[in-house]
Chains A and B, each alone.
Chain A
């Protein structure tokens, strides 16, 4: 049963480029069906802006089915908006009411410079993954499936961590601009599995220290977990913290031998 929302006010962040000064721009949406997704609502707004000869609002989006991690909007002070466990693209207008004012801002963190309007550059995440988000695999013939037995709870826990789509909502929601949930998820999904053991300790050391170059620190507010479209648990952060401590000792021992 669809219904129509009337008289929405949008306050959208507009910023011409990385260094320029931005501002909120108000737009009115007179009518929109509640079946429209949030991004479709922005598409409709952009069509209107373009037909009026104005610049369209720039925002990131790609798959629009919650698996690519490209969309990234701070909606009414919540990363990915009011719906729990979804990315912005899976948020629908039925979560809002007629007459609402909706404030849309980009992610804000020094590691995520604004490219334009609502689009930010999240390549700092790539630096973290480059530092250790890989395993050593033998080349040659493809190994048989299920050659390495993995206990089901371990596989499940690794899968929980591997759900991370790297959208950056954890950083955006964190009052400290910390990327601990992202980094912990990327570390844990490999560190939990047998295939990830060879680089386990160099991985955690390199990824944590690369994270440190770009992001803030974790004070255990738990906002990241609440904002995460994949509902990744902050238990992953504890796992990372424990592994980092072990890594510092073990890597030191290994270095002493070399």
Chain B
């Protein structure tokens, strides 16, 4: 069948080992398995952020507290604390920006790896099956990772424009987090957007958390059965926590009154 094959030289045995000039991390990132490590590690960074973000936002339910002798919404106090993180070791805002840059880098790497792996996968099967596939175990979550991922990225852009920059939030006031939250989520279409986006995020996490153990090779027959439970648990907690904010705002539990 040699007439059908068009390939370069065998890389393993016949060819001598090339002198490595690429730096270690770039060399690792060059292969699909290496890119999956990047997907997994940046995914873990994202998961930790999402859990922290959700837990932090639960302070919206604490309402008004006394802070430095003044009445203030606990969410606003928390938001201000984030800016003062590690002060006075570093000036105000620096630690927060450090965290933000880490998250941006993780997101960019996650997207780049996903993009290049998708290109690789498309090339691996240029002619698709001409009859319908009958998938046996691939879940909706695993097959919709690209779709839910794109939804989450688009949502992040909206979310920043809404509650960080205030471009799409008519009632936006810098630093008044609780007020901005109420102003944004009181709008029914926006509340629905937040609910849909968080369900997409949960679906993404449901496969991602299970999958990252496999990608990193963290495999132990004794603990493997916990992976599915961990993925379901984290995805459920994140979705329930995050979806509660638009619902509770519409229900009037989260409602801004000047203090």
Contact = CB atoms under 8 A, between A and B. Distances in A.
A74 interface: yes
Interface string A201-213: 0000011111011
Interface residues of A, number: 63
A210 B219 contact: no
Contact of B214 (A11, A77, A208, A220): A220
A13 interface: yes
A176 B27 CA distance: 23
Interface stretch (B2-10, B97-105, B171-179): B2-10
A131 interface: yes
Nearest to B126: A110
Given A212-B32, A219-B211, A226-B136, A24 B5 contact: no
Contacts of A123: 1, 5
B36 interface: yes
A178 B121 contact: yes
Interface stretch (B47-55, B138-146, B197-205): B138-146
Interface of B: 1, 4-5, 7-8, 10-14, 20, 24, 27-28, 31-37, 117, 120-121, 123-139, 142-143, 145, 207, 210-211, 213-219, 221, 224
Given A206-B12, A226-B136, A227-B136, A121 B219 contact: no
A76 B134 contact: yes
Nearest to B139: A221
A238 B142 CA distance: 17
Contacts of A108: 125, 127-129
Contact of A241 (B33, B126, B136): B33
A111 B139 CA distance: 26
A11 B129 CA distance: 13
Contacts of B139: 221
A208 B31 contact: yes
Given A78-B136, A219-B145, A235-B221, A210 B129 contact: no
B33 A244 contact: yes
A242 interface: yes
B224 A235 contact: yes
Given A127-B10, A206-B11, A111 B124 contact: yes
B191 to A, nearest CB: 32
B232 to A, nearest CB: 16
Given A105-B131, A221-B142, 5 more contacts: A11-B131, A77-B131, A214-B124, A217-B32, A226-B136
Nearest to B20: A255
B124 A177 contact: yes
Contacts of B224: 235
A160 to B, nearest CB: 12
Contacts of A38: none
B24 A248 contact: yes
Contacts of A218: 32-33, 36, 214-215
Interface string A118-143: 00010110010011100000000000
14 contacts: A77-B129, A110-B123, A110-B126, A127-B12, A132-B12, A175-B135, A206-B12, A209-B11, A212-B33, A225-B137, A238-B213, A241-B36, A244-B33, A255-B20
A210 B14 CA distance: 12
Contacts of A225: 137
A214 B124 CA distance: 7
A115 B5 CA distance: 10
B11 A238 contact: no
In the A-B complex, the 3 residue pairs with the closest CB atoms? A131-B12, A242-B217, A216-B124
A123 B3 CA distance: 12
Nearest to B116: A217
B128 A217 contact: no
Contact of A109 (B8, B125, B136, B143): B125
A252 interface: yes
Contacts of B37: 241, 245
A239 interface: yes
Interface in A241-258: 241-245, 248, 252, 255
Centre residue among A77, A221, A243 by max chain B CB count within 10 A:
A221
Contacts of B24: 248, 252
A214 to B, nearest CB: 8
A131 B11 contact: yes
Given A24-B130, A130-B10, A239 B217 contact: yes
